[in-house]
Amino acid sequence: MKKQLMEMLEARKDEMVQIRRYLHEHPELSFKEEKTAQYIADFYYGKDVEVQRNVGNGYGIIVTIKGGKPGKTIALRADFDALPILEETDLPFKSKNEGVMHACAHDGHTAYLMILADCLIQLKEEIPGTIKIIHQHAEEVPPGGAKSIIDSGTLHDVDNIFGIHLLPMAPAGHVGYHCGFSFAGRSYFKLGIQGVGGHGSSPHMANDSIVAGSYLVTAIQTIISRRLNPFDMGVITIGSFDGKGTFNVIKDRVEIEGDIRYMTMETKEIIETEVRRIVSGIEEEFGVQCELIYTSDYPPLYNNPDVTAEVKASLESANDPDIKEVVEYPMMSPSDDFAYYLEKIPGCYFYIGCTPKGVEKPFFNHHPKFDIDEDALIVAAKSVGYVVCGYFGLD
């Protein structure tokens, strides 16, 4: 079956590219992917599978492939939402929805999985178990789609789960993996600092919110340098400081927004505690009023070591010319709501190189000029296909 599956995938490589390009032209934002979901559902229409729509808190789709023999159940996931980014590429199939772009390769994720799923449907009588295909909405915007799909109960019978992400860290043909904590967790905060406005010539008659906010920008970095164990990963980024006013007017209010990353839940708790402590201290020291919104988005992503070892073994034994190298990647600081699946279901999230040919310094995910080498689509399909065959012991 393994040989047959790979031949089927190779024969449909161009179709993967066509699907990816169609989705790239027609991106939709998180929780608004109505037409994308319809396109995916139409693809499965008339096939011998169960299709569940509107799963979770949006347009999630689960396609259940019941094998011809009893056995375990696995899930394969691909996300299909886009980003609020104005595309700056010169691609002939660039986004037709101005200000919306597939800048994180979710179009590629969806394209490879649709074709892989269709091939598995045709071969399902040989499969000793069940495969659930998760086409997930809203990965980019918290609370995301993953947690709601889990909470829906539709994955209660899944034994293991797998997913991939296209990353331009290596050329097509390179596959990466990492055991244990692999992607960072993420939190968000928004802080409003209310002072007293006044004339620039008379600061003693005002209470400058910009000074208080500037102190916070500096002080909050001491959490990373002085409160965390030097061997623990933590990042605090102040992404927005909204204090624009007039040059000779003391600003009465500023708003600050920040992004926080961490690799363990213990680090998450330390950072949140210290942020709240510093905010309270600023209120006391500067005599301002602070309004803090602090939310936890996605948890750290943990790849089960045993499952990841099996993935590695399946890929290394593939002996496939499209899979040129299988390498261990370091921990990385991006976040992904696939982490919610892995909190409940042992699994592995691994990486497919996609650096465009001839490009030495590719634009990373979320950049308006982001693009992929479309040869990575067949690599993704084959890689996950080998993992499925290895899992079910199919030669």
179 and 271 both lie in a single domain: no
Question: CA–CA separation, 204 vs 248, rounded Å?
Answer: 14
Which member of 139, 208, 336, 375 is catalytic?
A: 139
Q: How many residues does the chain have?
A: 395
Chain centre to alpha carbon of residue 261: 14
Final residue belonging to a domain, choices 266, 296, 326: 296
164 and 231 both lie in a single domain: no
pLDDT at residue number 214? 97
pLDDT, tens digit, 9 for 90 and up, residues 188-209: 999 999 999 999 999 999 999 9
- Give the mean pLDDT of the chain: 97
344 and 251 both lie in a single domain: no
pLDDT at residue number 375? 98
Final residue belonging to a domain, choices 296, 324, 357: 296
Band (pLDDT 50/70/90 cuts) for residue 4 is: very high
pLDDT, tens digit, 9 for 90 and up, residues 273-325: 999 999 999 999 999 999 999 999 999 999 999 999 999 999 999 999 999 99
Question: CA–CA separation, 239 vs 241, rounded Å?
Answer: 7
Domain count, the chain: 2
pLDDT at residue number 314? 98
pLDDT at residue number 127? 98
3-state percent breakdown (helix, strand, coil) of the chain, nearest 5: 35, 30, 35
9 and 137 both lie in a single domain: yes
Which member of 79, 81, 208, 371 is catalytic?
A: 81
Burial class (CB in 10 A: 0-12, 13-18, 19+), 232: middle
274 and 322 both lie in a single domain: no
State the average pLDDT over residues 223-228: 97
State the average pLDDT over residues 332-358: 97
Share of the chain above pLDDT 70, in %: 100
pLDDT, tens digit, 9 for 90 and up, residues 115-132: 999 999 999 999 999 999
Band (pLDDT 50/70/90 cuts) for residue 395 is: confident
* Domain harbouring 345, CATH code: 3.40.630.10
pLDDT at residue number 72? 98
247 and 348 both lie in a single domain: no
pLDDT at residue number 317? 96
189 and 312 both lie in a single domain: no
Question: CA–CA separation, 241 vs 259, rounded Å?
Answer: 12
Note if 139 is an active site residue: yes
- Is the pLDDT at 144 greater than 90, yes or no? yes
263 and 220 both lie in a single domain: yes
50 and 173 both lie in a single domain: yes
Note if 325 is an active site residue: no
Tokens of 274: 């210290």
Are the CB atoms for 395 and 11 separated by under 8 Å?
Answer: no
214 and 127 both lie in a single domain: no
- Is the pLDDT at 387 greater than 90, yes or no? yes
**Enclosing domain of residue 129:** 2-183+300-392
Residue with tokens 């001839």: 358
Residues in a beta bridge with 162: 76, 348
Final residue belonging to a domain, choices 274, 296, 318: 296
Question: CA–CA separation, 286 vs 212, rounded Å?
Answer: 6
